[in-house]
Amino acid sequence: MTDTVSVADLMDSSGVGFGTSGARGLASAMTDRVCYAYTRAFLDYLHGRGEVASGQRVALAGDLRPSTPRILAACAAAVWDVGMTPVDCGRIPTPAVACWGIREGIASLMVTGSHIPDDRNGIKFNRPAGEILKEDEAGIRARRVALPAGRFTADDSLAAPPPTPESPEAYDAYIRRYLDFLPPLSLRGLRVAVYEHSTVAREALGRVLVGLGAEVIRLGRSERFVPVDTEAIRDEDVSLARAWAGTHGFDAIVSADGDGDRPLVGDENGNWLRGDVAGILTARYLGADCVVTPVSSNTAVERCGWFPQVTRTRIGSPYVIAAMQAAAGHRVVGYEANGGFLTQSAVVKEGRVLPPLPTRDALIVVLAVLALARELGLPVSRLAGLLPARYTASDRLTDFPTALSAARIVALRDGGPAALAAALGPDLGEVTGIDETDGLRISFAGGDIVHLRPSGNAPELRCYTEADTPDRAGTVLRQCLAVLAGWKA
């Protein structure tokens, strides 16, 4: 006997729904039954579009959080049951499995909660051409799927996890992608620290840097999952990097978030670059003529004058990808404020080709920033000085229900410009612009910008600020967070 379930109903009842990138929720809510159903709906959706067929492979990978192996087993069972073959690509970065799927023309998925705490997890789905977009999410959510009799126990656990064939091909191809693009030994003489923590990209970072001639210092490895968020860098990560700079004397320090799609790049003093600054520098190194980035990114991308075309979108890689696909240009790239970088076009540099990878990637940013510094003969600390003096800061309030934060933002907007200025701080001055592309982005006469937005991945309220000095951006951020903390009452 087969049970048929509605994916929409399952998302509503479990609380595991689509966010900014993929489906996410509490690990306890991501039961084997839920993860099986979502994977089956994903593959049924692709089959209905003629993008996959029985007998094909499906690439699977995961991050290092403790719930990942169980969820991967449930996803693999769904692949087997639709008549396809799962391939376990290992614990490798999200862009590595996506890149291999695109190259092989097969569907892929990554079990990861990215930067969020390890009591949560998620699944990122990729079509053979790349990430699913918002219209694909709607198509998956609309599916009804069959759950075979005997597949699950009474507590929704998988009754008998099937074996899954393993392959190192995706990881090896990902490493080769960068060793083939940058000139051999192009980073020789650089001393680079890799902050390993629990990022699944730690092995790839070290292997590529060594392969390009850099001396690598491995620091801070953790066997416990550490929720490193590249958009709201923890105080302990700021302190660690600066302390290590004094101890180890490196030229740069690099890292990534949990699933390796968002980078952290720090200079020789252990100061982390903002992700959107690193994105601009990466776009310059790659010679982009069209840059797509969300509305929350630093306005230095327009002010620098390096790029003929800059397009702004809502926050989230699906929106960036959709805009890149629609863009006209020979070298179309995209990046987010969290540092994730995407390439829509092949990049040719000194006769070497970097194939397109329209999904967030940490490794290209790390390598491009180091290569640009070497190309210009500058230390990493001086690269940001090439840009107009605009500085951003961001943080989040956790355990802030999405519905509550959305309602509070609407009420703030409806109060009008005078109410906005009064609510967020008298020193901000007159409101000169309001942008509702994603959340509420407010520009003030003195040049300050405040952007408020509910997170698309977790019950968090995010605040982004921009100003003419780093101190001012930080001051405005702290001031706004103090106001927003009172919204919970």
Helix (H) or strand (E) holding 88: strand 85-88
Q: How many CB atoms lie within 10 A of CB 69?
A: 13
The DSSP output letter for 223 is S
Beta bridge partners of 111: 62, 123
Work out the angle at residue 56's Cα, subtended by the Cα atoms of residues 71 and 79, and round it to the nearest 5 degrees.
25
Work out the angle at residue 66's Cα, subtended by the Cα atoms of residues 273 and 338, and round it to the nearest 5 degrees.
20
Residue with tokens 């009452």: 489
Instruction: Render the burial of 350-389: b for 16+ CB within 10 Å, e for the rest.
Output: eeeebebbbbbbbbbbbbbbbbbbbeeeeebbebbebbee
Helix (H) or strand (E) holding 217: strand 215-219
To the query of whether residue 114 is one of the catalytic residues in this protein, the response is yes
Residue with tokens 């901000």: 428
Burial class (CB in 10 A: 0-12, 13-18, 19+), 210: middle
Q: Which phi-psi region, left, alpha or beta, contains residue 93 (left: φ > 0; alpha: ψ -120 to 50)?
A: beta
How far is the C-alpha of 23 from the C-alpha of 1, rounded, in Å? 28
Q: How far, rounded to the nearest angstrom, does the alpha carbon of residue 318 sit from its chain's CA centroid? A: 11
Candidate list 14, 67, 114, 443, residue with the active-site label: 114
| DSSP notation for 337-404 | TT--EEESS-EEETTEEE--EEEEESHHHHHHHHHHHHHHT--GGGTGGGS-S-EEEEEEESS--HHH
Integer angstrom CA distances of residue 12 from 18, 398, 401: 11, 22, 15
Residue with tokens 């709906």: 41
CA dihedral sign, ordered 465, 469, 471, 475? negative
Residues annotated catalytic, as ranges: 114
